[in-house]
Chains A and B, each alone.
Chain A
Amino acid sequence: MKHLKTLMFSFLASLCMAGNLFAHHNTQTEYGAFDAATIVVEGTIARVMWGNPHVGIEITTTGGDVEPGKKWRVNSHPIQIQIDHGFSKEEFVTGASIKIIGWQNLRGLPTIWPRAIQLGDGPMKSNMRFTDMIDIAKGTFSGMNIVAAANLNGSPTARAGEAYIPKLRELGLLDAKDNMIWPAPKK
Chain B
Amino acid sequence: MIRQLIVAAIVAAVTSVLTLQFIKPESPAATALAGPELDNLAAQLATHPSLQLAYSPLKLNVTQKHSEDAWLAGLGADGKPRPGPADDLKSLAPAENTVCFLTDMEVQHISDPSDQLACRVTVDEFTGYWELHATQGDGTDASVRCNAMCLSW
Chain A partners chain B: yes
Tell me the A residues contacting B by CB distance below 8 Å.
12, 15-16, 18-19, 21-26, 29-30, 46-47, 51-54, 56, 58, 71-73, 105, 107, 109-111
Shortest CB distance B142–A (Å): 15
Tell me the B residues contacting A by CB distance below 8 Å.
62, 65, 67-69, 71-72, 84-89, 91, 101-104, 106, 124, 126-129, 145, 147, 149
Q: How many inter-chain residue pairs (CB < 8 Å) link A and B? A: 66
Q: Give the secondary structure class of A's interface.
A: loop
Q: What is the CA–CA distance of A16 and B151 in the complex, to the nearest angstrom? A: 13
Given the interface pairs A19-B104, A51-B87, A56-B89, the reply to whether A109 lies near B68 with Cβ below 8 Å is: no
Shortest CB distance A52–B (Å): 4
Q: What is the CA–CA distance of A47 and B147 in the complex, to the nearest angstrom? A: 25
**Complex contacts, A12 vs chain B, CB 8 Å:** 101
A110 near B89 with CB under 8 A, answer: no
Q: What is the CA–CA distance of A26 and B84 in the complex, to the nearest angstrom? A: 20
B86 near A15 with CB under 8 A, answer: no
A110 near B88 with CB under 8 A, answer: no
Q: What is the CA–CA distance of A52 and B81 in the complex, to the nearest angstrom? A: 14
Q: What is the CA–CA distance of A46 and B128 in the complex, to the nearest angstrom? A: 14
Shortest CB distance A135–B (Å): 26
A-B pairs with the 6 shortest C-beta distances? Answer: A52-B86, A58-B126, A71-B127, A21-B106, A109-B91, A23-B69
B102 near A16 with CB under 8 A, answer: yes
Q: What is the CA–CA distance of A110 and B124 in the complex, to the nearest angstrom? A: 13
A25 near B71 with CB under 8 A, answer: yes
A21 near B104 with CB under 8 A, answer: yes
A15 near B67 with CB under 8 A, answer: no
Interchain residue pairs with CB less than 8 A apart (19): A12-B101, A16-B101, A16-B102, A19-B65, A19-B147, A21-B69, A23-B68, A23-B69, A24-B68, A29-B67, A30-B68, A53-B86, A54-B89, A58-B126, A72-B127, A73-B91, A73-B127, A105-B91, A107-B67
**Complex contacts, A56 vs chain B, CB 8 Å:** 89
Beyond A15-B103, A19-B104, 17 additional contacts (C-beta under 8 Å) are: A15-B101, A16-B102, A16-B103, A19-B147, A21-B69, A23-B69, A25-B71, A29-B67, A51-B86, A51-B87, A52-B86, A52-B87, A53-B86, A56-B89, A71-B127, A71-B128, A105-B91
